[in-house]
Amino acid sequence: MQQITYATVHPKFKKLYKSGYPLITKDSFNTKKFVEGDIVDIVDEKKEFIAKCYIGFQNKGYGWVLSNSKDEKIDLDFFKNKINKAIKKRENFFNSNDTTAFRVFNAEGDGIGGLSIDYFDGFYLITWYSKGIYKFKDLIIKALTAVAKCKGIYQKRRFNTKGQYLEDSSDFVLGEKAPEPLVIKENGVNFAIYLDDGAMVGIFLDQKDVRKAIKERYAKGKSILNTFSYTGAFSVAAAVGGASKTTSVDLANRSRAKTQEQFRLNSIDFNSQNIIVEDVFNYFKYAIRKKLSFELVILDPPSFARSKKHTFSAYKDYTKLLEDTINITSKNGVIVASTNAANFDMKKFKSFIDRAFKNLKVKYTILETFSLPSDFKVNKNFKEGNYLKVVFIKKL
């Protein structure tokens, strides 16, 4: 039985947690009294119950609210109910023939911050974002296998102090091992993923709607530049959508073979595409010097990145990076400006875009915007959780 302790919340946070805010902040109560994995009942100065949470250090947070019910037991049934409810909300994805990979459980959006579960054609990948939630590992895995048909289960652990991936001998947990690669479909496009090959699997599921838009409405007959291309998923979607040619640029050496593999899975000759292993910042200088231009440019940098010569922060440096992008985008071309930085909202992001175009004295119009897809459920009381911001911009 999980031992429950009590903490008196600071008065200024009382209304916040009563209204459904899910993140436990460092200064909301004396978190030093507890260790990760503790279940804590938050009470006010009159000892009246407000919320039940667990302690788990994650970025700036110190835990997450699990329930606003005093009598809620954080046991196997609790996790079964949460996961089963989340699965039912994704029935349309489970019934799709065109998409076989999606998010099943999206952390605080589905009621348990610090925990995500992704589905890959019968296999499940659990990501733990704190030691606190990892303390419930056995219960959560038992709950998942009780409510879902799992070929196999894998895990990623991201709970050191910097939120980075913890290396392990294997990410395989139980059941059947997935083939390598495991080929999944997303809106009819094939992608190779690897569930047991480091911190990431080969595709970011939160960009599925953006890739679909590029494939169906923007790529046909266009020259495409995909920067920070990773395994080339945007490039492949564009090529399937009829792009005249794609150019993929990424600093990682393995990006070339990974991108070639994705093209091959979709019966596209990768030799007819440009796949360049290079620092994107250097490539921009080269492209400007050579007066290259592209009809559609995808700009999806990490929120923070460091190479030998460059350090990039989305908040500080996105405007300058966008200026370079504008310079190599053809007239009436489209820029897909994207960021997953959670420390600013869409309004601020649009101000970065506006500043970049004004600095260059170039006119533009916004065609459409995207945030997280429907399988990435968001808690309405936690706007920071809707981190993805994508803007399709036409250069006039």
- For residue range 93-140, what is the model confidence (pLDDT) as tens digits? 999 999 999 999 999 999 999 999 999 999 999 999 999 999 999 999
Please give the model's pTM, rounded to 2 decimal places: 0.95
pLDDT per residue as tens digits for the range 247-306: 999 999 999 999 999 999 999 999 999 999 999 999 999 999 999 999 999 999 999 877
Model confidence pLDDT, tens digit, residues 331-384:
999 999 999 999 999 999 999 999 999 999 999 999 999 999 999 999 999 999
**What is the Cα–Cα distance from 256 to 259, expressed in whole angstroms?**
5
The reply to whether CATH 3.40.50.150 applies to domain 204-395 is yes
Torsion of the alpha carbons at 278, 280, 284 and 289, rounded to the nearest 10: -20
Listed by start position, the domains of the chain span 4-67, 76-180, 204-395
- pLDDT of 93: 97
pLDDT attached to residue 74: 97
Measured CA to CA in angstroms, residue 366 lies from 26, 68, 135, 140, 235 at distances of 39, 41, 45, 43, 22
Question: In whole angstroms, what is the distance from residue 225 CA to residue 235 CA?
Answer: 8
CATH number of 4-67: 2.30.130.10
- Mean pLDDT of the 56-85 span: 95
Residue written as token pair 């429950």: 4
CATH number of 76-180: 3.30.750.80
* pLDDT at residue 347 in the model: 97
Evaluate if residue 162 carries a pLDDT over 70.
no
